[in-house]
Chains A and B, each alone.
Chain A
């Protein structure tokens, strides 16, 4: 059974968003996503300054066997990329909610309300 945490927002494509105050948020993939992927060996992420559009592909997370597109759950500008995850992709398997990929400045913080909360996400990640 995969973990779903309170305080995170979820997309149907299994990314999470965690607001970090002042209109910023962290983005990662869920524990369910990492469990489906298996051993993560590479995370292909955009650079700082890139604009993300909600619902649009912005990179990929790759297991030994397959590449899986990352779909942006929100719109915003990338302000930080987690180099630890790039250097050690297995961190995603160890703790998907700690292994954030990007920090973004949200275009519209209200967009978070369009995402799933814990109880709803649990229903689609059984």
Chain B
């Protein structure tokens, strides 16, 4: 059993009385006061998350772009430096190694941000695929702390607290900034469906920035609210909507797969899957009676199991029981009536789109 790690903000979380749980090898704050309160702060105002558990991997070398485009479902070579691109790394069979953000630093360097629970696996996957490419791959996760400042007031707060004007930083771009005399990387990205920023820096820098935000009434939010927020924005989570058993096409993430690229790992199998038609897909569900559909609950139709819930909640913003679910393709049509098995009851619902709420990005 590996030792459970602490982020650089661990002491803060404990002092605040957060409920701490082990997640991906780290003791992380799940909730400080209440998930609905933290969730609403991000939807309506601004909140901040310690996401230092996320993995940071740096790819450098003459073939950096060529290499990333070989292992990445989306495309980076044609983008300008300073862009952030979301996509996935795929196995040869088209299922997902991980989803990630690629920050294009220069023509010879990319900064990859991956899921905490997959960092080790991703690093090995990258290294295993470097043959024939002039690149070095470095797992720098231990050197970085990361926080996310999210919500409609995030930009104003960064100006107010640090005098940092981020109004010129476009959605899915990043830059290096000096905050409190520390050089940090700031991107206009997040995992909540709201405007906001992710800040990467060394541990001391991130602690100072976090403390300054804390003194200026930015509410700390735990992983509990992070999940309810990403879910309402129908953003996938590895192990739920995507996994090493699920392809991006089944997960509804085709727009992040660039079939125009000459080659990338997994392309051939995905093309075959497209040609033969999908057998299952991730859909939205809305229950028409009050109950809460949770991960793993069976989705039923005509007394047969046709799928399972991948994530479900009583939506905090909408007040309705909604879910994402993997169902057989023939039942994926919007409006299809289904049942969700919840304990001893079968609760009726319908297949709906995944636009549970309007994303509030500043583009």
- Residues of chain A whose beta carbon lies under 8 Å from any beta carbon of chain B: 38-39, 41-42, 44, 57, 60, 62-67, 69
Contacts and interface: CB of A to CB of B under 8 A. Distances in A.
A38 B292 contact: no
Which secondary structure dominates chain B's binding surface? mixed
B224 interface: yes
A123 to B, nearest CB: 23
Interface string B264-298: 00000000000000000000000000111010000
B343 A60 contact: yes
A38 B19 contact: yes
B7 interface: no
Contacts of B228: 64
A69 B343 CA distance: 9
B314 A38 contact: no
Contacts of B35: 38-39, 63-65
B67 interface: no
Interface of B: 19, 30-31, 34-36, 224, 227-228, 290-292, 294, 313-314, 316, 343
Contacts of B30: 65
B314 to A, nearest CB: 5
Contacts of B343: 44, 57, 60, 67, 69
B291 A42 contact: yes
A110 to B, nearest CB: 29
20 contacts: A38-B19, A38-B31, A38-B34, A39-B34, A41-B314, A42-B290, A42-B291, A42-B314, A44-B291, A57-B343, A62-B292, A62-B314, A63-B35, A64-B224, A64-B314, A65-B35, A65-B224, A67-B292, A67-B294, A67-B343
A41 B316 CA distance: 9
A63 B292 CA distance: 10
Nearest to A62: B292
Per CB-CB distance, the 4 closest pairs between chain A and chain B, nearest first, are A64-B35, A39-B34, A41-B314, A62-B292
A60 B228 CA distance: 20
A19 B250 CA distance: 54
Nearest to A93: B34
A39 B19 CA distance: 13
A65 B316 CA distance: 11
Given A38-B19, A38-B31, A38-B34, A64 B313 contact: yes
Nearest to A69: B343
Nearest to B35: A64
Given A39-B36, A64-B314, A65-B227, 12 more contacts: A38-B34, A41-B314, A42-B290, A42-B314, A57-B343, A60-B343, A62-B292, A64-B36, A64-B316, A65-B35, A65-B224, A67-B294
